[in-house]
Amino acid sequence: MNNMKPTLLVLAAGMGSRYGGLKQMDGLGPNGETIIDYSIYDAVEAGFGKVVYIVRDHFKADMEKAVKEKYSNVKCIDGTPLEFQFVTQELHKIPSQFTLNPDRVKPWGTAHAVLMAAEAINEPFAVINGDDYYGKDSFKVIADWLRAHEGKSGEFCLVGFALENTLSESGAVSRGICTTGADGVLSTVVEHHKIARAEDGNVYGENSITQEMVELDGKALCSMNMWGFTPDYFSKSAAIFEKFLEKNIAELKAEFYIPYAIDCMIHDGTGKTEVLTTPSRWFGVTFKEDRPGVVAKFQEFADRGIYPTPLYK
């Protein structure tokens, strides 16, 4: 068995504007555990060896303190201490040939966030959102894939979830909608916004490229930002980001999303992405109203013995 320990990259720089606070630090488990706590627990069980957080400067110190206190005794499956690193995503962190629009306040998006970790990661790595629960099997599936692709380049993966299982009853959401070939390789992934089930029972969303509202297949696989990358992803994505900025540097709201970067690699032939499936069910807290259901779910996991309680001692 390959003993390489992949790295987990946690996207935790979002301000949680829809949720109304720093949901990455919200205690939802029976003993105040956060969703990130469960993700790290599952990742360690699956064989990950390092966690890199993408945060913002203004709460980096709080996150570092919380991590040091909570995970000080966590060991990898080989008995070594779990490693942690923090990097920051800020608007001004763009290639030097570009001048930032002084009126822009919106972050550059998820693919820009991943680029911030280029100097912190040298091994195959998984990317996850800090406020999404992906499930134990999802981490096992992606860890196995990452170990099998050590030393390779231009081959990436995505853990896909059925769109209808990722909707919120509390409001519209954004998802990367995937299409695949017969070989399970991603052919397109397009970010859609304002996705919700309408009164007619169908699911609709706004295509981020055409800005048109379209009907979506509830069974379609979508990206919940659980990606698997080999380190060459960084240089490929950086080149695409420069082309993106050439067109969008003056824009106030244009964002550089992971699905956009991957779509560019698919079309220019520099990378192919295998879509992995998982028996795990996703859930998360997009809105405040989602919180009680998530709290109940973690309590159920504790009652059934799926996780120890407390999760960390």
Overall average pLDDT of the 226-253 stretch: 96
Task: Give 7-303's CATH code, choosing from 3.30.70.100, 3.30.930.10, 1.10.520.10, 3.90.550.10.
Answer: 3.90.550.10
Which pair of structure tokens corresponds to residue 245? 């900025």
The answer on pLDDT for 20 being more than 50 is no
Eight-state DSSP code of residue 104: -
The answer on pLDDT for 18 being more than 80 is no
Question: Which pLDDT belongs to residue 168?
Answer: 87
Highest mean pLDDT among 187-201, 222-236, 285-299: 222-236
pTM for the model: 0.90
Question: For the chain, what are the domain ranges?
Answer: 7-303
Report the mean per-residue pLDDT for the chain.
91
With cut-offs at 50, 70 and 90, classify the pLDDT of residue 258. Answer: very high
The answer on pLDDT for 87 being more than 90 is yes
CA distance 48 to 140: 10
Question: Which pLDDT belongs to residue 3?
Answer: 82
The tokens 């945060």 sit on which residue? 55
- Shortest CA distance to 168 belongs to which of 44, 78, 292? 292
CA distance 149 to 310: 35
Question: Which pLDDT belongs to residue 15?
Answer: 47
Which pair of structure tokens corresponds to residue 253? 């709201």
